[in-house]
Amino acid sequence: MNKVLILICSILCTAFSWLWGQHNPGGELLAEDCMEGGSASIMVVDLESGEEVYAFDAFRALPTASIQKFLTTAAVLQTKGPDFQYETIVGYTGHIAQGRLDGNIVVVGSGDPTLGSGYFEDGWDMDKLADTLSAYLEALGVQQIRGNVVIDVSISPGQHVPGGWPWADLGNYYGAGHWGLNIHDNEYRLFFQQNQIQGQPTRILRTLPDVSPFVIHNEVRTGPAGSGDQAYIYAAPYSTSATVRGTIPPGSGSFSIRGSLTNPPQFFGERLKILLEESGVTVSGGIEVTPDPVSSVQILFTISSPPLLEIARVTNYRSVNLYAEALLKLLCEDRNTASQYGCGLDRLEEFWTQNGLDDDQIFYRDGSGLSPRNTASSASFVRALQAVFDDSDWFISLFATLPEMGKDGTLQYMLRGYHGTGRIHAKSGYIGRQRSYMGYMSTEKGRTLAFCVMLDNYNCSSTRMRQRIERFLIALMKE
């Protein structure tokens, strides 16, 4: 009899558990085997009816990671408009006579983060810029420059990386700072010669582009098979050297990682001078990077960036921290501020407060989410999604910057096994044991939902946690 009762209880418990799971899609997501010591903030709302579809601790502020980029891109699109373009000026000062410019070549930076970027086709790389400048100088009969190559970075005064970024990130490509003049995404590629012996020191082959005289001290060794890229570059803005530590996988070929340029305007000026001299124009002076505006510049040509909508799209599709920080600075109109970061953060907070976000639930530390001190609640992000949705023009622009889950950008490998009619356009975030997703969902029954899932300090694998998030989202789409 006891065995029968136990069997019946077991069946009933299983049935109740199954039924609960059908009406509680967050059950597995919040299970203790992954979240016993973690925190979660989840909110899902029907944008048409305002119905709260699901919520768990929705007003708890947690680290945002890269979903912070949604707030930055949405604010700047609404403030500047999708057609805004940066304008970088190339010209000269002084006088031209007898084939000689007695003056300086001047490049006036606009803060454009896309100059020479690999994310855009037909962009202005260093070779195209130098060839265009050489053609203008040839038309003017200039073969010699008695002066300097001057880089005017007055458009972006103050610090170049947010104060809350971890030291271990600054020397790597995702920790690249934003300057008045930026080039090639402010990054370089560092190549190693691999070997097959675990623990054996590696050898640096080269950098692309050549960043000499920048010195890189190599402490990287060979890791175990399948270990992947575990090497990190340590450097800071204005550093003249870096140290690279960690491991790379064994092999017989070359292996590369990406580092951040520590002084992009200086690098740009040095490279431009070399290219000019290779084209036959000698430059007697050196490189001058100035934080003060250069006056009386004779403009030769202007370089326009891609439209802001395209920049915001790359920011969210590829989760480019450099672009997010550049867009944050665009919110600042005060050119006399000591820090455009601080000014931009103030404007970002003001903007979202005016659009209904509770400033007690969201704390801004940068525009990209790389700082672990950015925190917000899922309710705050859903409120931001609602504000955008309620303005049709704003929504059309912002929606175009969000990748479709299972197809595009950083979300292309999610929902690979889902074949229903539901669709999700979203932004993802990931730092260590923190994952976050927020965006718009079209369900199989035609509902339009705004959702935000934030999970912090989970204790299972990242893959396992991501799979649970996928099942949670699929359950919502099927409801």
Q: What are phi and psi of 382, to 5 degrees?
A: -65, -40
The amino acid at 231: A
pLDDT at residue 154 is higher than 70 = yes
Position 23 scores a pLDDT of: 55
Question: How much is the pLDDT for 8?
Answer: 52
Q: Assess contact for 355 and 347: CB atoms under 8 A.
A: no
Phi-psi category of residue 432: left, alpha or beta, with phi > 0 → left and psi -120 to 50 → alpha: left
Residues whose CB falls within 8 Å of the CB of residue 153, separated by 6 or more in sequence, listed in order: 109, 179, 180, 181, 265, 289, 290, 291
What value, to the nearest 5°, has the Cα angle with vertex 51 and ends 46 and 54? 80
pLDDT in tens, 334-349: 777 777 889 999 999 9
- Work out the number of other CB atoms within 10 angstroms of the CB of residue 210: 12
Residue type, position 408, single letter = D
Instruction: Tell me the pLDDT band of 4, cut-offs 50, 70 and 90.
Output: low
Other Cβ atoms less than 10 A from the Cβ of 124: the count is 20
Residue 10, pLDDT > 90, answer: no
Q: Coil, strand, or helix at residue 36? A: coil
Residues 409 and 400: their CA atoms lie apart, in Å, by: 12
Strands (E), 384-472: 423-431, 434-442, 448-456
d(CA 386, CA 355): 10
pLDDT digits 0-9 by tens, 87-133: 999 999 999 999 999 999 999 999 999 999 999 988 899 999 999 99
| Nearest CA among 261, 263, 281, 260 for reference residue 272 | 281
Instruction: Classify residue 3 by burial, with Cβ atoms within 10 Å: 0-12, 13-18, 19+.
Output: exposed
Task: Report the percent of the chain where pLDDT is more than 70.
Answer: 95
d(CA 328, CA 298): 30
pLDDT at residue 303, as a whole number: 98
- Provide the pLDDT for residue 169: 97
pLDDT for the residue 20: 39
- How far is residue 321's CA from residue 324's CA, in Å, rounded to a whole number? 5
| Residue 291 to residues 108, 155, 156, 305, 331, Cα–Cα distance (Å) | 10, 8, 8, 22, 20
Confidence at residue 13, expressed as pLDDT on a 0 to 100 scale: 41
- Residue 9: pLDDT band with limits 50, 70, 90: very low
pLDDT of residue 25: 77
Tokens 């203008």 correspond to 136
Instruction: Summarize the confidence of residues 53-62 as an average pLDDT.
Output: 97
pLDDT of the residue at 18:
39
Look up tokens 């007003």; give the residue. Answer: 59
Six token digits for residue 375: 């925190």
DSSP 199: T
Tokens encoding 267: 């690098």
**What's the confidence (pLDDT) of residue 3?**
55
Q: Give me the count of residues in the chain.
A: 479
What pLDDT score does 370 carry? Answer: 97
**What pLDDT sits at residue 308?**
98
Q: Give the containing element (helix H, strand E) for 344.
A: helix 340-354
Positive or negative: CA dihedral 57, 62, 65, 70: positive
Q: Are 265 and 258 in contact (CB under 8 A)?
A: no
Q: Average pLDDT in the 395-408 region?
A: 97
- Chain-centroid distance of CA 427 in Å reads 11
User: What percent of the chain clears pLDDT 90, i.e. is strictly above it?
Assistant: 89
Mean pLDDT of the chain: 94
Least confident of 7-16, 103-112, 373-382, 437-446: 7-16
Q: What is the pTM of this model?
A: 0.93
Q: State mean pLDDT over 202-223.
A: 97
Taking the CA of residue 124 as centre, how many other CA atoms within 13 Å lie in the half-sphere pointing to its CB?
A: 24
